[in-house]
Structure 1
Amino acid sequence: MILWVRHGQSTWNVIDRMQGHELSPPLTELGRQQATQTAELLADREVVRILSSPAVRARQTADIIAERLGLQVVEDPLLLEKGLDEDYASVLVRVQQLLEQDLPRHTVAVSHGDTIGLAVGLLSGQRPELPANGSITHVDPDTRQVAISMP
């Protein structure tokens, strides 16, 4: 089961600016707090691997989680959010490629709202929704039920 984590609030989230494949917007102080709280929520899970979008805001979130869990972060460009010149079909292809990988149970994937929404939609058959910053979303592989944890 993949535990999908949306990165903490970034400086561009605050001004409601589209980020796309822009890698540089960092986390705000609130974003770092969200990541720390998310790490605490994940501490009770049997997480064995942390994947992260290469975007700074996602990587900073993943690094905070990894430090708390004593794990290393592996960057995966399949987790990037929709680029400004990219269509959602392309993002779906990337998400499907990630889902086809033989990932260990309890993998954390730190990504972006649109990418997570599409992944959860594929896994659950439900309409994709934008998760909140710092939230953890997972889909039960047997029931296809979606569960969301907030920091």
Structure 2
Amino acid sequence: MILWVRHGQSTWNVMDRMQGHEISPPLTDLGREQAAHAAEALADRGVVRLLSSPANRARQTAEIIGERLGLEVEIEPLLLEKGLDENYTNVLVRVQQILDRDLPDHTVVVSHGDTIGLAVGLLSGQRPEPADNGSITSVDPATREVTVTLPPR
């Protein structure tokens, strides 16, 4: 089972500004707290691999998780969120490429709300919903049941 983590709050999330493929917006203090909470929530989950979008907000979140879990962060460009000049079909293709990989159980993927929403939709058959900042989402492969762990507010 893949554990999908949405990056913590970024400086642009606070402004409700579209980020797309923009790499630079960093995490806020709250975003770093959300990442630390996700790391703690994942500490007893037997995580074996950690993938991240190259965007700073996702990479910083993954680095906080990786430090807590003792894992190296693997940067994966397919995990970027929808670009401002991109359509959702392109994002679905990228997400499907990730899902088609033989990722080991207990892989953590740090990405973006829309990307995670599309992945969960593909895995569960449910309507895609964007993930909340700092949330952990999984889909049971047998039942297609979606489980979401939200960070404290």
Normalised-by-shorter TM-score class: over 0.9
Q: Which amino acid aligns with 1:41?
A: A
Extract structure 1 runs of 4+ deviating beyond 2 A. none
Once the two structures are aligned, what percentage of the paired residues are identical? Answer: 77
Per-residue deviation, 1:150: 1.3
Q: Partner residue of 1:53?
A: 53
User: Gaps (5+ residues) in structure 1?
Assistant: none
Q: Supply the RMSD in Å over aligned alpha carbons.
A: 0.4
What secondary structure is seen at the aligned counterpart in 1 of 2:38? helix
Query: TM-score w.r.t. structure 2 length?
Result: 0.98
Q: Which amino acid aligns with 1:51?
A: L
User: Gaps (5+ residues) in structure 2?
Assistant: none
The yes-or-no answer on 1:44 pairing with 2:61 is no
The yes-or-no answer on 1:22 pairing with 2:14 is no
Per-residue deviation, 1:149: 0.6
What secondary structure is seen at the aligned counterpart in 2 of 1:82? coil
Per-residue deviation, 1:44: 1.0
Rounded to whole Å, the distance in 1 between the matches of 2:127 and 2:145 is 12
Per-residue deviation, 1:131: 1.2
Q: Which amino acid aligns with 2:109?
A: A
Rounded to whole Å, the distance in 1 between the matches of 2:126 and 2:111 is 19
Q: Partner residue of 1:76?
A: 76
What secondary structure is seen at the aligned counterpart in 1 of 2:32? helix
Per-residue deviation, 1:136: 0.1
Rounded to whole Å, the distance in 1 between the matches of 2:130 and 2:74 is 24
Q: Partner residue of 2:105?
A: 105
Query: TM-score w.r.t. structure 1 length?
Result: 0.99
Per-residue deviation, 1:6: 0.2
Q: Partner residue of 1:64?
A: 64
Q: Partner residue of 1:132?
A: 132
